């Protein structure tokens, strides 16, 4: 599909009120600038048209791969970047500044497909799949959520049966990013003993289909679908040998949620930058609206929340680099940063007045996208309860 190329200049400037750039290495700054330049050149000119058409710009997948946006923390041996978690976070921040749907695509590829294959897979599986996923030759998806089981994945109904030479897979998954175009799917299912196992399911396997979900008002530039398994024969060598129990998929979600915390910050920054510039240009009562107290209050609160979120991301990234980041710490970052991004997007929409609902500005697109981001990979309230269990030692899920 062809996309209209807007002539509007993307003049985004990121706020850095606490000089957090001083905490970053030269490599971090170079990586961030490279991704920012890429987003300005390749994404910003076409993203509004893609969203209006509810079309996924699939040609960008290989370009994302060429830039190293897929699984950048995976070792270079497997065709990835071998970078640290600060670099990964900065990448996701810049991509979601462009659009949440494209960051979702990259997060799924890196954190939910490449990560489990690297972490739980055999060396043969790593060498077979990771280089193709890293380059964008393959697009992957992650099958955990089911029509009846979202926040409670342990209740999944998808099953595998050991048939000697292969596993027989039956069931379905819902709300799966990348599914309609995915070459492979990392799928979670229960065996005869009720243990959750991970399998790599390849497009073309008989009985495996990926119907697309249409009429979305959010993440319109990403492709979302179902995974349907009707007596799919999965070779034994496609089982992830080191994944056993719910810990497997939850480990993947920790990695994805970390990227979301940075990504949502990118969307918040974009809304703030647009609101600040609009407020300085928009004249009412013979002066720019930026001169009014209530407008300055909104901008000051936006900057404050962005600065706090930047510090959370940086510290969490350092903990990830040291192997010390906990699930609860990641939950706090995901919950806080998506929440502040939503609030900033809503305030920015008001500051833009009627123009805020048009594609001339990115605000309404970010706002619609963030309504999905606040729900997936653990809802706002689920993350609150994860923190509650960490604080009290009492789980509210049972």
Does the active-site annotation cover 360?
Answer: no
Q: Can you name the residues that pair with 141 across neighbouring β-strands? A: 185
178 close to 109: Cβ distance less than 8 angstroms? yes
Q: Could you tell me the two tokens for 82?
A: 């071998």
Alpha-carbon span 345 to 363, nearest angstrom: 6
Alpha-carbon span 131 to 142, nearest angstrom: 18
Q: Can you name the residues that pair with 239 across neighbouring β-strands? A: 199
SS3 label, residue 100: helix
Q: What share of the chain is helix, strand, coil (3-state, %, to 5)?
A: 55, 15, 30
103 close to 116: Cβ distance less than 8 angstroms? no
Q: Can you name the residues that pair with 167 across neighbouring β-strands? A: 162, 234
Q: Give me the catalytic one of 76, 119, 377, 390.
A: 377
Largest CA distance in the chain: 79
Alpha-carbon span 176 to 227, nearest angstrom: 7
Q: Which of 349, 334, 326 is nearest to 381 (CA)?
A: 334
**Which residues are known catalytic residues?**
377
């Amino acid at each position: 599909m062809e996309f209209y190329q807007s002539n509007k200049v993307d003049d985004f400037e990121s706020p850095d009120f606490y000089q957090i750039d001083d905490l970053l290495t030269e490599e971090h700054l170079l990586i961030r600038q490279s991704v920012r330049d890429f987003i300005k050149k390749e994404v910003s000119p076409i993203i509004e048209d893609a969203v209006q058409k509810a079309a996924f710009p699939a040609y960008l997948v290989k370009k994302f791969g060429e830039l190293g946006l897929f699984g950048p923390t995976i070792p270079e041996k497997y065709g990835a970047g071998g970078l640290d978690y600060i670099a990964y976070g900065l990448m996701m921040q810049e991509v979601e500044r462009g659009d949440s749907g494209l960051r979702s695509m990259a997060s799924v590829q890196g954190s939910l497909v490449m990560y489990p294959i690297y972490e739980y897979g055999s060396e043969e599986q790593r060498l077979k799949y990771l280089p193709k996923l890293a380059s964008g030759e393959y697009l992957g998806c992650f099958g955990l959520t089911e029509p009846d089981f979202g926040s409670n994945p342990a209740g999944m109904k998808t099953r595998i049966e050991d048939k000697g030479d292969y596993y027989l897979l039956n069931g379905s998954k819902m709300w799966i990013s990348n599914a309609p175009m995915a070459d492979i799917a990392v799928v979670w299912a229960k065996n005869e003993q009720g243990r959750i196992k991970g399998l790599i399911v390849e497009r073309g396997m008989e009985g495996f289909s990926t119907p697309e979900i249409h009429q979305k008002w959010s993440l319109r530039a990403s492709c979302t679908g179902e995974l349907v398994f009707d007596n799919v024969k999965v070779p034994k060598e496609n089982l992830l040998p080191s994944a056993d129990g719910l810990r497997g998929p939850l480990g993947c979600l920790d990695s994805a949620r970390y990227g979301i915390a940075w990504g949502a910050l990118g969307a918040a920054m974009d809304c703030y930058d647009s609101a600040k510039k609009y407020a300085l240009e928009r004249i009412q009562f013979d002066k720019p609206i930026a001169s009014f107290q209530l407008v300055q209050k909104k901008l000051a609160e936006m900057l404050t929340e962005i600065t706090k979120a930047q510090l959370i991301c940086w510290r969490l990234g350092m903990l990830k680099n040291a192997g010390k980041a906990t699930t609860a710490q990641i939950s706090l970052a995901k919950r806080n940063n998506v929440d502040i991004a939503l609030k900033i997007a809503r305030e920015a929409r008001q500051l833009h007045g009627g123009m805020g609902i048009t594609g001339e500005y990115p605000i309404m697109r970010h706002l619609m996208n963030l309504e999905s981001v606040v729900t997936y990979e653990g809802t706002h309230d689920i993350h609150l309860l994860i923190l509650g269990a960490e604080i009290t030692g009492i789980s509210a899920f049972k």
